[in-house]
């Protein structure tokens, strides 16, 4: 197959967003697919993961991961299928996972991708429950918060891909779990499908009041996906030796002004509480452990997951922007092509 002459669509960062990103911040450009050299593989993009943390990479600020460059392709978790291989490790038809470009095809070195076992779970699960978001939930909750049976766990962004997994693992560990989400439908999903003990609709309820009512014995663990006023409401309810894995702060990602709130120092001192930021990259040497545990729970029926799948490469940006509207239940993905 000679696809090097063929053109494909690619999404680049045209300008750094100010506030909420908009379609104009991105370019859809036509670019050659390219050719494979020794050790390389040509992949047809099947599913693209869109994630809140990508908003941070669109800023030109120091962070745990380099910012996206202007006029370069945006990258994220991608599942694709090998259509041509000059690698001994991959064959045509293999389904693979990698951090790849937002484009219809990618030519990549064999070291940048790993093969997916199609028989273990639906392939998309490798971008969600047994992939980045599931692993993020696993390590943040178990390594930082270390839940003990009988403790009270509060999760914000609870109907999202990370939050819904956190709550279920917390239930597996014998805790009492309170989820905070933004629609009644999401709250019902948490209660009826995932077995959460309580769910708070932060758009309808007064969060400090609802949290105090839902946590009569205080809060031992707060898994923070959102930051902002929802997190502010947690601090006065912390128990002695509380733990707060700080995973995301989606409420502030599009802020233009400095994100101001009550300072947390006094609450931390009063309770000897721990707050720790983290990203999945901190656990790169333990991915195998997390993957095994999640796959086992999934196959035992102890973990459920949802995906919100938008169809068509033209809708990648729409799907990304939907994250900030809270439109997604579970993992937000874009389907670009079928897997054979």
Site residues for a second copy per CB under 8 A = 56, 61-64, 224, 227-228, 231, 240, 246-249, 252, 258-279, 282
- In the bound complex, what is the minimum distance in angstroms from residue 46's beta carbon to a second copy? 29
Task: Report the alpha-carbon distance of residue 204 to residue 200 in Å, rounded.
Answer: 8
Nearer to a second copy (CB atom), residue 162 or residue 295: 162
Nearer to a second copy (CB atom), residue 281 or residue 301: 281
Task: Indicate the SS3 state at residue 89.
Answer: coil
- In the bound complex, what is the minimum distance in angstroms from residue 160's beta carbon to a second copy? 15
Burial track 266-275 (b if 16+ CB lie within 10 A, e otherwise) = ebbeebebeb
- In the bound complex, what is the minimum distance in angstroms from residue 236's beta carbon to a second copy? 9
- In the bound complex, what is the minimum distance in angstroms from residue 162's beta carbon to a second copy? 12
Whether the CB-CB separation of 98 and 110 falls below 8 Å is answered with: no
DSSP for 131-186, please give it: SHHHHHHHHIIIIII---TT-EEEEESTTBHHHHHHHHHHHHTT-EEEEEESSHHH
Nearer to a second copy (CB atom), residue 96 or residue 162: 162
Nearer to a second copy (CB atom), residue 64 or residue 296: 64
- Per the listing, tokens 């720790």 go with 276
Nearer to a second copy (CB atom), residue 226 or residue 319: 226
- In the bound complex, what is the minimum distance in angstroms from residue 140's beta carbon to a second copy? 11
For residue 21, CA distances in Å to 28, 63, 66, 256, 322 come to 15, 19, 19, 12, 11
């Amino acid at each position: 197959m000679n696809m090097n002459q063929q053109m494909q669509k690619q999404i680049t960062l045209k300008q750094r967003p100010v506030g909420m990103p908009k379609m104009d911040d991105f370019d859809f450009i036509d670019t050659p697919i390219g050719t494979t050299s020794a050790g390389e593989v040509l992949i047809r993009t099947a599913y693209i993961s869109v994630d809140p943390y990508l908003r941070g990479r669109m800023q030109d600020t120091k962070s745990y991961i380099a910012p996206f460059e202007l006029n370069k392709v945006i990258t994220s978790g991608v599942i694709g299928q090998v259509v041509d291989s000059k690698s001994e490790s991959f064959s045509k038809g293999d389904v693979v996972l990698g951090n790849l470009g937002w484009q219809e095809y990618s030519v990549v070195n064999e070291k940048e991708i790993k093969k997916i076992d199609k028989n273990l779970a639906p392939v998309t699960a490798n971008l969600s429950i047994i992939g980045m978001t599931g692993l993020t939930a696993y390590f943040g909750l178990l390594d930082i918060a270390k839940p003990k049976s009988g403790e009270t766990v509060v999760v914000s962004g609870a109907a999202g891909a990370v939050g819904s997994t956190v709550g279920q693992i917390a239930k597996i560990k014998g805790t009492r779990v309170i989820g905070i989400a933004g629609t009644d439908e999401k709250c019902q999903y948490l209660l009826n499908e995932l077995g959460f003990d309580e769910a708070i609709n932060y758009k309808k309820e007064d969060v400090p009041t609802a949290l105090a009512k839902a946590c009569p014995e205080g809060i031992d663990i707060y898994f923070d996906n959102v930051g902002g006023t929802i997190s502010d409401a947690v601090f006065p309810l912390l128990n002695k030796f509380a733990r707060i894995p700080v995973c995301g702060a989606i409420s502030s990602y599009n802020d233009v002004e400095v994100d101001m709130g009550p300072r947390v120092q006094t609450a931390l001192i009063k309770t000897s509480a721990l707050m720790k930021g983290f990203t999945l990259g901190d656990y790169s040497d333990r991915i195998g452990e997390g993957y095994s545990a999640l796959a086992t729970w999934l196959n035992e029926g102890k973990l459920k997951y949802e995906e919100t799948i938008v169809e068509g490469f033209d809708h990648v940006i729409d799907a990304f922007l939907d994250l900030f509207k809270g439109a997604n239940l579970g993992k937000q993905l874009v389907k670009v092509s079928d897997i054979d």
